[in-house]
Chain A
């Protein structure tokens, strides 16, 4: 009778052990899946950030690419160190400028009259970024962005209308 009871106990222990292994394996696979999903989502988000910012600006340059309306420089007022892309247009004889720049962790866009005197913080936040700069060689504009993952991406755009007008 005692021997049977002991056998029964071993059986229960074995069962519990198997259940524990099973539970541990399920947890491991779940954790692995969650980690994998997190990594892939982070990579996609970084890629989105990289692509979107530069392509948005490149599309804006192409949109305004007519009669020397695209040029780079410093922000029009207040913060001379803010590297800015200027996209100018004439509306009813008055000059208006769309300024794209980086300020306080964000890419900003500000549309105003050329002599509005608005400050960098007055613009609209476009997206989060670690930095943005513009470099111009004649009619060739290079967009330099510091991405949120610490990497730096560059995209050069050729201004077909000539660029450089101020």
Chain B
């Protein structure tokens, strides 16, 4: 009787240890799943940001940094800080009120004579910079 009791206790202990080990490993797995999902989402967001920045940079170079021309080319808003494009969460163009992401392009200076820069930054709603792109072009 005592032997039988001991054996049951032993089996229960083994099961408890197994459950504990399983709980620990599944916690690690779930954490890895969540992290991979977040990383993938972040990559996708950065890809789209790079696309938006690339378009703005191309326009900036074409317009020699003139905000008015850039705004005309991309149907962007002209502000004191340069041309600004607004995007919603799906990266479709939208208005400033509904914007989740903001792409801002402005002309800058370089140390080299006759060479100007056009700097583009993509920010989210919390004003965090997601992507930055600095280009240079020859001034007339």
Contact = CB atoms under 8 A, between A and B. Distances in A.
A58 to B, nearest CB: 8
A140 B62 contact: yes
Given A50-B47, A158-B62, A44 B26 contact: no
A158 B37 contact: no
Chain A binding surface, main DSSP class: helix
Contacts of A39: 37, 40
A149 B59 CA distance: 27
Interface in B82-140: 90-93
A127 interface: no
Nearest to A48: B47
B47 A11 contact: no
Given A36-B33, A137-B73, A151-B90, A25 B26 contact: yes
Interface stretch (A26-34, A72-80, A87-95): A26-34
B44 A158 contact: no
Interface in A92-149: 137, 139-140, 142
Contacts of A43: 40-41, 44
Given A29-B30, A47-B44, A22 B55 contact: no
Interface residues of B, number: 35
A40 interface: yes
Given A8-B4, A36-B36, A153-B91, A15 B26 contact: no
B48 interface: yes
Nearest to B73: A140
A37 B32 CA distance: 11
A155 B29 contact: no
Given A33-B29, A155-B51, A156-B73, A40 B40 contact: yes
B79 interface: no
A54 B22 CA distance: 45
